[in-house]
Amino acid sequence: THAELPEFFFFGLSYINDGEHFFIDSDTKLHKVAPEGWKDGLKGNLPPLTFSVYLRIKFYPEHIGMLRHSISRHLLYLQLRHDFLEERLTCSDEKTVALVGLAIQSEYGDYDQETMGKNYFIPEHYYCGSVIKRLGLGYIRDNTAETHCNYTGLSHVQAEVEFIKMAQQLQEYGIHFHK
């Protein structure tokens, strides 16, 4: 692969059409799936059209041990985090707070009451809008900090692995939903 992704067979390039991700076959030319005029903008005086492609998990591993390389695990973690924010993966409020605690442990390290307080993270970066609305910011700040404390001592890699393991237990894990 050009990206030097060791476990490239789990991944694929996708584009978004009408709010959905569609995977691009490896033999498909980009101009075949890009918006009309995208290729022509490169030739003339037309303003360039933006066409974004995304590296996404195409084939979800059944268990974390199937991903032998840290970059593959990290990319899976990032996609799962994004899928929670976009509500492609859902779970109970309790499990959501636990997953967010792991994500914050991975990204911030051990919780320190003196330096962090309860306003040390941006809830919208970890919780989807419907959960924020349902639980409220006060509950989220109190319970997330408390849950974050439960993961003290985990390295960022360990926290990501635990996040993935917890997400793999969810009913929607590994499913690409289409309209």
Within a 13 Å sphere around the CA of 121, how many CA atoms are in the beta-carbon half? 27
Rounded to whole angstroms, how far apart are CA atoms 48 and 41? 5
pTM of the model: 0.87
- What percent of the chain is modeled with pLDDT above 70? 93
pLDDT score of 1: 46
Q: How many residues are given for the chain?
A: 179
Taking residues 131-153, what's their average pLDDT? 95
Taking residues 18-40, what's their average pLDDT? 86
* Structure confidence by residue, pLDDT tens digits, 109-137: 999 988 998 899 999 999 999 999 999 99
127 CB contacts (<8 Å, ≥6 apart)?
A: 85, 96, 100, 135, 140
pLDDT score of 2: 54
Q: Is 103 within 8 Å of 81 (Cβ atoms)?
A: yes
Element (H, E) at 146: helix 137-150
8 CB contacts (<8 Å, ≥6 apart)?
A: 1
Identify the burial level of 90 via C-beta atoms within 10 angstroms of its C-beta, where 0-12 means exposed, 13-18 middle and 19 or more buried: middle
Rounded to whole angstroms, how far apart are CA atoms 72 and 8? 8
Q: What is the CA radius of gyration of the chain?
A: 19
Query: Of 15, 78, 24, 74, whose CA–CA distance to 50 is shortest?
Result: 15
Query: Of 173, 175, 165, whose CA–CA distance to 64 is shortest?
Result: 165
Average pLDDT of the chain to the nearest whole number: 89
Within a 13 Å sphere around the CA of 147, how many CA atoms are in the beta-carbon half? 20
Q: At 21, is the secondary structure helix, strand, or coil?
A: strand
